[in-house]
Amino acid sequence: MTEDNGRQYYLNHLYDRLYALRHDVLSDGLDLFKTWRPYIYRKTFLYSALNLAFYLALRSRDLQDLQSNLLSLGLSSLGRSEARTIVNLDAVMASLGRICGKSDQELIDYPPQKMFFHGEKLLRHNTSALFGGSQGEPYTHIMVTLPTEAADDYTLIDDLIRSGMNTARINCAHDDKEIWQRMIDNVRRAAAENRRPCKIYMDLSGPKIRIDEILIKGLDTKLFIGDTVFLAAHSIDSYPADYAGDIVITCKIPEIFKTLKIGDPVLIDEGKVQGRISEITPQGAYIRLTYARPTGSKLKNQKSLNFPETPLPISPLTEKDLDDLDFIAARANLVGYSFVKSAADVRLLQQELQKRRGDDARKIGIIAKVETKESVQHLPEIIVQVASSHPFGVMIARGDLAVEVGYHRLSELQEEILWICEAAHVPVIWATQVLENMVKTGLPSRAEITDAAMGERAECVMLNKGPYIVEAVTSLGDILRRMESHMYKKAPRLKALHIAMNALSSRSFKK
């Protein structure tokens, strides 16, 4: 076989592989979409759901070898297929067919340019529907968690909106309805006076598991690796008579004992103290510590408890949430849903909103907070369930998610969430500890500047409260504007680089 014949064989073989891939993606994607179609009420979501189905079919296959072969021909490696899966495949096949010299009957036409960018337009439309915004403003929006003082400090709200906040977050785990109402009044007044729209986003508390009570039996309050903590199932005084440890705790959700088993990991205070269930008794469970600070760790009341491998037999909507929802449904533009794990969880919130607002409930945007293993695994069905009837977004709650899945997996899952949401044209909120040091001290760390810049890949970045929050909003807006000129999602924008222009203009090299 001559070199030319060998290359032609290689090209034809590559074309056949791509043709077979396209056939399988179309077939599998359409089959998946058909299971979703009866439940999709918003016609604007039909194209997005179909693209999501195609993307899931594509990414269920290992494409690494195919990517390398396409790259060597100067073609797309399919690495930017999220928002336009089949269109991108067709464009690659149209070019490869012409390189192969296929006949006119075998060639695939290039997709229309408007279809190539239709997914991006849908994502921008859905982002505007959730977070507002107008032409000329940065694509990535800024959300700020309001502190209690925002209820009575109008100047703070005014400064935040002037600095670039376009979504105000109220965490319903704190304060009360009177304070929330004063916050909302200040936001709406400042938005009107500055002629800058600002959405109201209210976060349901959810069934957050925390330490409810602590009993210290001995003098030593510090815990070390190998120590034991007793988690009481009933009351703080209900522990085995022969328990030799110094610390007894209870939790706010005793239902955990229905599914808790020996060997299950337990993370306390966002993973600062870690252990495993070593024994279960009628009175509760022994936690043997596997991680603590070298100098010893102390437990405090109300600190978080996480059971990442233990199924929780509880509803994501608590009695408090249902009471708060009456207030939220009448006032907020967006509702944040904590600890969502499945489409069934979402249906529960949709039903409750329907009770309170009727048909108007579908105007309320729902933000699903992805913070557990289950929510990541079931993300496609969660997306379809909500986006089929409501404006919808996803928050990557990186703090709780890191505790649940392990810090070493956070970056990997963060990327997968961004890709899947882009495929469904669903906006994403980049949350937890963004510019945290700057918000608290006024001076950012170098690492968090890089993290904030990565937030440009999402449609919204959330900042937490702190004394330097106004300065942080201003800095974040500047960072995002700069990054938007260089990147869109994971694709670089090839604007002229100052470094390159300087190198070409100087054309000098000094030894």
- pLDDT-derived band at 270 (thresholds 50, 70, 90) equals confident
Per-residue model confidence (pLDDT) at position 280: 95
The pLDDT of residue 255 is above 90: no
CA distance 463 to 436: 8
Per-residue model confidence (pLDDT) at position 506: 62
CA distance 477 to 460: 11
**Section 287-303 average pLDDT:** 93
Phi, psi (deg, nearest 5) at residue 285:
-135, 145
Q: What is the pTM of this model?
A: 0.90
Per-residue model confidence (pLDDT) at position 500: 53
**Section 306-310 average pLDDT:** 90
CA distance 266 to 276: 6
- Calculate the average pLDDT of the chain: 90
With residue 66 as reference, give the H or E element that holds it: helix 64-71
The pLDDT of residue 505 is above 90: no
- pLDDT-derived band at 50 (thresholds 50, 70, 90) equals very high
Per-residue model confidence (pLDDT) at position 474: 95
The pairing of beta strand 247-251 with beta strand 305-306: unpaired
- pLDDT-derived band at 419 (thresholds 50, 70, 90) equals very high
Question: If DSSP states are collapsed to H, E and C, what string results for 383-426?
Answer: HHHHHCCCCEEEEEEHHHHHHHHCHHHHHHHHHHHHHHHHHCCC
Per-residue model confidence (pLDDT) at position 76: 84
Per-residue model confidence (pLDDT) at position 216: 87
The pLDDT of residue 135 is above 60: no
Mention every residue, 6+ apart, whose C-beta is less than 8 A from residue 258.
313
Strand partners, 331: none
**Section 123-144 average pLDDT:** 83
On the question of a common fold for 129-207+315-492 and 210-306, the answer reads no
Spatial contact of 88 and 491, defined as CB atoms under 8 Å apart: no
Spatial contact of 389 and 41, defined as CB atoms under 8 Å apart: yes
**Section 473-500 average pLDDT:** 77
The pLDDT of residue 165 is above 80: yes
The residues spanned by each domain of the chain are 3-111, 129-207+315-492, 210-306
Residue 479 buriedness (CB in 10 A; 0-12 / 13-18 / 19+): buried
Per-residue model confidence (pLDDT) at position 198: 95
Phi, psi (deg, nearest 5) at residue 453:
-65, -35
Highest mean pLDDT among 2-16, 70-84, 167-181: 167-181
**Section 302-330 average pLDDT:** 91
**Section 350-369 average pLDDT:** 92
The pLDDT of residue 1 is above 70: no
The pLDDT of residue 248 is above 80: yes
- pLDDT-derived band at 139 (thresholds 50, 70, 90) equals confident
Per-residue model confidence (pLDDT) at position 295: 93
From 1.10.10.10, 2.30.42.10, 3.30.479.30, 2.40.33.10, which CATH number describes the 210-306 domain? 2.40.33.10
Task: Report pLDDT digits (tens) over 377-411.
Answer: 999 999 999 999 999 999 999 988 988 888 889 99
Amino acid at 307: F
Q: Which of 393, 387, 323, 330 is nearest to 360 (CA)?
A: 330
Per-residue model confidence (pLDDT) at position 136: 52
Strand, helix or coil at 250? strand
CATH code of the region 129-207+315-492: 3.20.20.60
The pLDDT of residue 494 is above 60: no
Lowest mean pLDDT among 5-19, 39-53, 199-213, 441-455: 5-19
Task: Report pLDDT digits (tens) over 51-74.
Answer: 999 999 999 999 889 988 998 888
